Structure 1
C-alpha cells in the first residue's frame, strides 16, 4: 500500500512558527551547532518538536537533540535501517501500517502476540522499531508530523511479556522521536496486562501518558471510529483496509536515496 500526501487532512500547519518559538529555535541552533556542527542540517520543524518535548526549555531541548544526534550517528550510521539486518523481526509481521486518522496521522497497528522475549535478540528488536518509527515518520506530512498507533493485545499472555523490550522501545520513542506520537490506543486488554503496565508506567513521561488510551473490548469500535473513518480503519476492527505489514507499505523516499 502506498501512502500519498493528498490523503492527509486537518493537521496542524508546521510551516507556521510563532515569533516566540522562532527566537528559541535560533537559541537552540547556537547551542547544538557549537557542540555538533552536523546539526546545521536540522530544519526548524524538527527543532520545534524537541523544544515542545522539553516544555520550551531551550537548554533541555538542546541536550535532548544532541543526545538524539549522537545516537543517530551510531545506531543508524547509513541514515536508515536496512531490512537485511532485521530479517527475523520482519518475518513476524509484528507491525502493520495503513490509512490515516481524521487528523491526517498515519496509522500503525502493532500485534503484540506476535512477539516473544528473546534476550539475545534485543538489538534486532530495537532496530526493527527504529525502522518502523522511521517509516511511520516519513509517511507524515509537513501539515501533520505525528502518527497514531493501535497496540493490539488480543491473545497476549505471560509468554509474550517482554518488559526489557518494551522499555527499550519506549526509550527510543520518547528520546529519539519526540512529539511524533499523536495517540496510542491499547486494546484487547487481558487481565495480566495490568501487572506489566504497572512495571512500565513509571518510565512513561507525562507528555506520552497524555496520548495513551486504554480501551475496553466493548468500546473498541466506537473509540476507533471516533478518530478514524471506516474507510481508513483496518478490516479486523470493522473497517475497509486490509492489514499491510510495515515492510510492504510503500512510503516515498524510504529508504532514502
Structure 2
C-alpha cells in the first residue's frame, strides 16, 4: 500500500473513532443534565458539544458548566432576549458593527474600544446586557453549520476615559462561561501604548484556549494580515475592503 494513502486512511479512522467517542459523550451528557433540568431538552447536540469541548471532554465539568448556563439564562435573559430599550446608553455610543464573513464562513463583527465610555453607560449591569445582546445577534446570524465568529477589536483613540476593567472582565466571563467555543478569532488593531496597562490587568483572566485566538496586529501589516483570513469583498472599507459597516442594532 502507498505510504501516503496508508497515513490518510489511518487519520480518517482515528477521526471517525474520535467523532464516535464524542457523540457518545454528548448523549451521556444530555441524559445527565435532563435529569437535573428538563429545559435542557430544548438545546441541540451542537450546543452540548460546545460545552463539552470547552471542558476538554470532561463530562462532569461540562455538565456543571451547562447547568450553570441554564440557571444564568433563566435569571439574566428571562424573556429569551435582550431588547434595545434595555441598553440605551450603549446603543447610543454606536461602537459595535457587523458585516461580512471570513474565508471560513465565520460572521465578522467590529468593535471600537475608543467609543466605549463606562461613566455614561448605565453601569456594569447595562454593559452585561449589551454584551449578551451583541452575542445573541451575532450567533443568530451564523449560517447553518457555522458555530464561531470573528471579531476585529479596534482600539484606535482609546484613552483612560474608555478604560473599564470591571466591564471587560464581565464581558470575558459571559463569553467564556456562557458562550463557549463561539469565538473563532480576535484581531486587535490600532493598539495605543496606553491600552497595554489595562490589557495586563485583564490577560490573567483569559483562559488558555481563548488566548490562542487573540492576535495583535501591527499597523503596517494590518490589511495584509486581515486579507489572509478575510476576502477583500468581505473586509470592511475602513480596512481597505469593500463592505460598509452596519451597526449591530440595525442587523
TM norm structure 1: 0.88
**Alpha-carbon distance in 1 for matches of 2:209, 2:32:** 24
More helix by share: 2
Residue in 2 aligned with 1:43?
A: 44
Per the TM alignment, residue 57 of structure 1 is displaced from its structure 2 partner at its CA by: 0.6
Q: After the TM superposition, which parts of structure 1 deviate over 4 Å for at least 4 consecutive aligned residues? A: none
The within-5 A match list for 1:9-20 is 18-20=19-21
By relative contact order (CA 8 Å, sep 6+), the higher-ranking structure is 1
SS, match of residue 96 in structure 1 = strand
Residue in 1 aligned with 2:152?
A: 150
Residue in 2 aligned with 1:92?
A: 93
Cα deviation 1:6-36 (Å, max 9, x = unaligned): xxxxxxxxxxx92111110111112211111
Q: CA RMSD in A?
A: 1.2
**Alpha-carbon distance in 1 for matches of 2:198, 2:87:** 26
The within-5 A match list for 1:233-248 is 233-248=235-250
TM norm structure 2: 0.90
Residue in 2 aligned with 1:55?
A: 56
Residue in 2 aligned with 1:223?
A: 225
The within-5 A match list for 1:94-243 is 94-118=95-119, 120-243=122-245
**Alpha-carbon distance in 1 for matches of 2:233, 2:94:** 22
**Alpha-carbon distance in 1 for matches of 2:127, 2:79:** 18
Per the TM alignment, residue 120 of structure 1 is displaced from its structure 2 partner at its CA by: 4.8
Per the TM alignment, residue 121 of structure 1 is displaced from its structure 2 partner at its CA by: 1.7
Per the TM alignment, residue 167 of structure 1 is displaced from its structure 2 partner at its CA by: 0.3
Per the TM alignment, residue 197 of structure 1 is displaced from its structure 2 partner at its CA by: 1.1
SS, match of residue 150 in structure 1 = strand
8 Å contact from structure 2 (residues 89, 122) kept in 1: no
Q: What are structure 1's unaligned runs of at least 5 residues?
A: 1-16, 250-257
